[in-house]
Each structure stands twice: as C-alpha cells, then as structure tokens.
Amino acid sequence: MILTNVVAAANAKLEGGIAVDGLGNVYVTGSSMGSGSASDYATVKYNSSGAQQWVARYNGPANGEDVAYAITRDSAGNIYVTGSSLGLGTGLDFATIKYNSSGVQQWTKRYNGPANGEDIAYAITVDSAGNVYVTGSSSGGGSRLDYATVKYSSSGTQLWVARYNGPGNIDDISYAITVDCSGNVYVTGSSMGSGTGLDYATIKYNSSGTQQWASRYNGPGGVDDIAYSLALDCCENVYVTGSSFGWGTGLDYATIKYDSSGLQQWAARYNGPASIDDIAYALAIDMSGNIYVTGSSLGSGTGLDYATIKYDPSGSQQWVSRYNGPANSDDFAYSLAVDISGGVYVTGGSTGSGTALDYATVKYDPSGAQTWASRYNGPANGDDQANALAIDGSGNVYVTGTSLGSGTGFDYATIKYNSGGTQQWASRYNGPGNNDDVARIFDLRRNTRIAFASLNATWLF
C-alpha cells in the first residue's frame, strides 16, 4: 500500500518540515538567522525525549538568504533537505543536501535554471534505491517561472531535469512531489492557463524524466486554482487538493482524483458556511482508500476555522469537522495525518484568547468527532504557528513550527504529545543570530516564501 500526502507525500519516506524515525528521533528543518550570514538552512535532530542531538547548518556561497522548505529521510537513516539558496551571480538556486544519521553533510547539490534567476525548491522525496527528487519553481528563458523537477542519485549525481512551461507561458510553480514503486514521479502545483488564470497542473514523469501526461483543472470560476498537496493510492490513482474559485462562492476546496493515465475521475468541492475563502492545504489517504483534506474555511461569524473533510473512494463527502479556537477568530490548519485506526490529526495556528496565534493540534475519531485539542502558547505570549505534523506507530504526535521567544525573536518549537493529547515535551531552537528561526515550508496564506505554513504531514509505519 502506498500512502502519500505531501509539499509535500507521506509514506515511509516522511516528507514535510518534520520527520520521525522508528526510534522516535525527530528531525526538523527550516531557516535560521546566522551570525553575519543572513538566514541559513538549519536542520535539528531531537531524541525521543526531546533532547537536541545535533544541528546542521548550511550557509550558501553568497552568504545570503538560504531557506530550507522540505525534509525527508531514507530507510538507512540519511536525512535530505531542500529549499532555496542565494548563489554567486545566479540568484536563488535549488540547494539539496544529504546528511548521514549523525548530521554530517555527505553532499550538497545546487540547481541554477536557464534564466540564471530565481529557483526555489519546495518539496523533496526519496525512492527505495536512495534516489532523490526535488521540485519547485525555476526562472525559464522567456517563460518566467516554470516547474522544475530534478532527480539525483544516492551519491548526488544529477540524473535528469524535467521542466514544464504551461500554456500561459508564465508563472508555473510546483509545490508537491511523490514517487511510486516503479520510479514514476508525480508533481502538482499551479500553472497559468490560456485565458483561465492559474490552473491545477499535475504531471507524471517516468523514471527517466520523460513526461507521461499533464492534467489540468480549471475550476468553475474560471480564474485562479492552486494545488498544494498530492497523494497516490495503491492503484496509482492520483489525488490533489488546494483552492479553486467557484461560481459566486469565492475560493473553495477542490479535491481531484485522476486515474493512472491522468484521466479525471471526479472533483469534490467544498464551499464553507460563509461562501468565501476556503483553502485546502493538506491531503492524506487511509488504507481503505478514503481521502482526507484540511485547511482554512471562513465560518459564519467565527473568522477562518479549521475545516477537515473525509471523502470515500468515489469522492462522496462522509463528514466535515470544523474547529473554531477560543478567540472566535482566525484558525489555519496546514498539516494532516491519518493513523492505522482511522484517527485524523491536524495542526496549524489558532487565535487564542489574549495569546495571539497558538499551535492548535486536533484529533478526530473515524466518524469525525473531535477526540482532543491541544494548544501551545510560547513563552512570549505572542505568535506561535505550527506548520508540520507527524505521528508514530504508538500514536504519539509531533508538531513543529515557529514560536515567539522571550528576547530571542522567533524560534523553532517542536512538541511531542502522547496518544491522549498530553504534552510530553517541548523543545526550542534559537539560532546564533538570536532571531527569526522558522521551521517551515512556505507561506500558503500569502503564497510567498516567508513564515507560517506547511503542506505536509507524515505517517510512520
């Protein structure tokens, strides 16, 4: 059974801003202010008790802005991160790094697109042979931003690059990636259409990087549609979710199923109670082929709420569960996981009562009833935003994100909860610059490369 839900893909290859291994060690990545080096990649390992084991930092050749957006782990315990890094005269480049289990850097590979401009990797995955795949946006020659997907061998040799320039010849950004057991690669994101605004664009490549199909989705509103998350089932059906303009309903959730040939099987849309501003950020599939999505949805007098939906394999909605935090204001769910018993976990940021944004992690039972909700308010009583979530085989839950510290600016804050939602530990990381340490993917609310968002969740099995 392939179970994936990424930036993005959650199977044994553990994608997102957080990963957990079989011993309960936790790995997080993001950006961290250096001492005289602007922001650097910072990847941190904690043991099962939350004690920091190592920190691996990367400062690119230009000593400028370096931001890690995604992390994954292979079966041998190696850790891979990717993101964007300022090059010498090349603008931002993809920068992908392999660390061994002790945090020692094995290799670093950079990709500079044909326009020598802005290249940003948003998602990463590995296959069973240790090949590494990254995807994101890359400046093209005359086409502005294109999808760019790169495959590396386990030793870091670049094997191929596949680029996609949509029919609008502008602004194509890939946000999510996964790979199947045959080495086929799937990516999704947003792509400018010809007179249709941004559309979902989902692409399958074979193991050699040759495009097999590209399927586009233009919602009923005929304007911007952006896919953020991607999953495969055991039959290599492909599922994507994101936001799509409806006809008179503003942004809606839109979840699409394609068969293995790229033919659309169904599209399930969700328009929340306020009939505007509904954006799905994360997707997961359970062992029975049910599909789960979560994100933010404008309520009736409640601001934005978490809205989590279960669909059966035919796309019929089974339930919708909403979470409105204590301040009755904006709540954003960014990450999702499903356990082997059908329990559903979501996390994100939720406005507290006098505490600004807090982490809010919610568990639902298989029928969609809320089992527990656990909140975290950091030491500065300011903004705390969870962006990624993982669960282990014992039902423990791990979340990470960014949290305002007391005199330290924003720090990484990583938390473990037991299966009942009781906090076991909270570990914080404050980098050498004493400011702006953000465990993250990218900002989905503003669709820019700054704090407070995630595409991914992970499930350890």
Q: What is the 3-state secondary structure (H, E, C) of 287-337?
A: CCCCEEEEEEEECCCCCEEEEEEEECCCCCEEEEEEECCCCCCCEEEEEEE
Q: What are phi and psi of 79, to 5 degrees?
A: -115, 140
Confidence of residue 460 (pLDDT cuts 50, 70, 90): very low
Structure confidence at residue 440 as a pLDDT band (50, 70, 90): low
Question: In the predicted model, is pLDDT for residue 28 greater than 70?
Answer: yes
Q: Which of 170, 406, 413, 441 is nearest to 281 (CA)?
A: 441
Q: What are phi and psi of 63, to 5 degrees?
A: 60, 30
Sequence-separated (6 or more) residues with CB below 8 Å from residue 446: none
How far apart CA 67 and CA 125 sit, in angstroms, is 17
Work out the pLDDT band at 101, boundaries 50, 70, 90: very high
Q: What is the mean pLDDT of residues 310-317?
A: 99
Residue 1 lies in a domain: no
> Please, is 55 exposed, middle or buried when counting C-beta atoms within 10 Å of its C-beta (0-12, 13-18, 19+)?
middle
Confidence of residue 289 (pLDDT cuts 50, 70, 90): very high
How many whole angstroms separate alpha carbon 124 and alpha carbon 29? 12
How high is the mean pLDDT of the chain? 92
Other CB atoms within 10 A of residue 311 CB: 23
pLDDT above 50 (res 1): no
Indicate whether 461 pLDDT > 50.
no
The answer to whether position 207 is within a domain reads: yes
pLDDT at 458 over 50: no
Decide if 10 is inside a domain: no
In this predicted structure, what is the pLDDT of residue 5?
Answer: 31
For residue 58, the model assigns a pLDDT of 98
Residue 214 within a domain: yes
pLDDT above 80 for 454 = no
Q: Does some domain include residue 12?
A: no
Percentage with pLDDT > 70 across the chain? 92
Number of separate domains in the chain: 1
Q: Is residue 9 part of a domain?
A: no
Task: Provide the pLDDT for residue 441.
Answer: 46
Tokens of 259: 């068969």
Q: Which two tokens stand for residue 120?
A: 């940003």
Q: Is pLDDT above 60 for 70?
A: yes
Considering only CA atoms, which of 5, 4, 7 is closest in space to residue 453? 7
Average pLDDT estimate for 421-450: 74
**For position 3, what pLDDT does the model report?**
29
- What's the confidence (pLDDT) of residue 294? 99
CATH of the domain at 97: 2.130.10.10
Report residue 205's pLDDT band, with 50, 70 and 90 as the boundaries. very high
The domain of 303 spans 18-459
Per-residue model confidence (pLDDT) at position 30: 96
Q: How far apart are CA 325 and CA 305, in angstroms?
A: 8
Average pLDDT over residues 281-297: 97
Please say if the pLDDT value at position 377 is more than 60. Answer: yes
Beta bridge partners of 122: none
In a domain, 345, yes or no: yes
Structural domain contains residue 436: yes
* Distance, CA of 36 to CA of 175 (rounded, Å): 30
pLDDT of residue 257: 99
Does the pLDDT at position 453 exceed 70?
Answer: no
Closest CA to 373 of 426, 305, 323: 323
393 DSSP β-pair partners? none
pLDDT at 383: 97
